[in-house]
């Protein structure tokens, strides 16, 4: 019956403890790094998804009212009622003589309770909880003639990400009308 440990047992136990204390911190560091990458990916995915959803919408609410016509926005697309390079009978421009209902020079923003065109998202701000942390998604839309630039910025100030995280995505939406595909029930 033995009451003490041998020198070899003591050396082996010290080696095992030393290996554990050198490997475990590296594993914890790697898992924290992967958590940061995952949180950033969540934020970027939310922003890209929002840009994609906005990009699918019509260029202006009047695009819907005119059955997908090309609006005269004072840009370079329209020329005396016809699209440059277009021909009579093609998707022609709808002239804006100031009295028409498709005046697109007005204030951009939410016209009604629905987000149904690109400029409805101008000034929109959303907070979302993306799995592990809260994100701010800020959207602005800038019109320059026939082009509306959609800017979606995602940011978070979560301390687990180290510093303040912010990224922006841009998408240019052109005034090309909106094709309505007819459908019928089988």
Domain contains 133: yes
The percent of residues in the chain predicted with pLDDT above 90, rounded, is 13
Domain contains 180: no
Domain contains 69: no
Domain contains 2: no
Domain contains 25: yes
What CA–CA distance (Å, rounded) separates 53 from 84? 29
Q: How many CA atoms lie within 13 A of 108 on its CB side?
A: 21
Q: Which two tokens stand for residue 61?
A: 């609410």
| Structural domain containing residue 156 | 8-58+107-174
Domain contains 32: yes
| DSSP 8-state secondary structure symbol assigned to residue 113 | S
What CA–CA distance (Å, rounded) separates 1 from 34? 51
Is residue 23 pLDDT above 80, yes or no? Answer: yes
114 Cβ contact partners less than 8 Å away, ≥ 6 residues apart: 120
Number of structural domains in the chain: 1
Domain contains 116: yes
What CA–CA distance (Å, rounded) separates 59 from 148? 8
Is residue 56 pLDDT above 60, yes or no? Answer: yes
Domain contains 186: no
Q: 5-26: string of b/e by CB count within 10 Å (b at 16+)? A: eeeeeeeeeeeeeeeeeeeeee
What CA–CA distance (Å, rounded) separates 33 from 170? 28
Helices (H), the chain: 7-55, 61-65
**Residues 5-19: pLDDT tens digits?**
788 988 999 999 999
Confidence of residue 98 (pLDDT cuts 50, 70, 90): very low
**Residues 102-144: pLDDT tens digits?**
556 555 667 777 888 888 888 888 887 655 677 888 999 888 8
């Amino acid at each position: 019956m033995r009451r003490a440990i041998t020198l070899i047992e003591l050396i082996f136990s010290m080696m095992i403890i030393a290996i554990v204390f050198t490997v475990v911190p590296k594993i914890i560091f790697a898992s924290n790094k992967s958590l940061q990458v995952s949180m950033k990916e969540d934020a970027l995915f939310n922003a890209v998804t929002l840009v994609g959803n906005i990009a699918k919408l019509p260029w202006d609410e009047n695009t819907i009212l005119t059955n997908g016509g090309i609006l005269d926005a004072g840009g370079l697309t329209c020329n005396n009622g016809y699209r440059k390079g277009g021909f009579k009978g093609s998707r022609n421009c709808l002239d804006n003589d100031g009295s028409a209902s498709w005046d697109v020079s007005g204030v951009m923003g939410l016209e009604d309770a629905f987000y149904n065109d690109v400029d409805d998202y101008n000034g929109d701000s959303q907070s979302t909880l993306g799995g592990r942390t809260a994100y701010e998604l800020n959207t602005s839309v800038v019109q320059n003639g026939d082009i509306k630039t959609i800017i979606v910025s995602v940011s978070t100030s979560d301390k687990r990400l180290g510093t303040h995280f912010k990224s922006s995505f841009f998408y240019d939406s052109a005034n090309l009308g909106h094709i309505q595909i007819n459908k019928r029930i089988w």
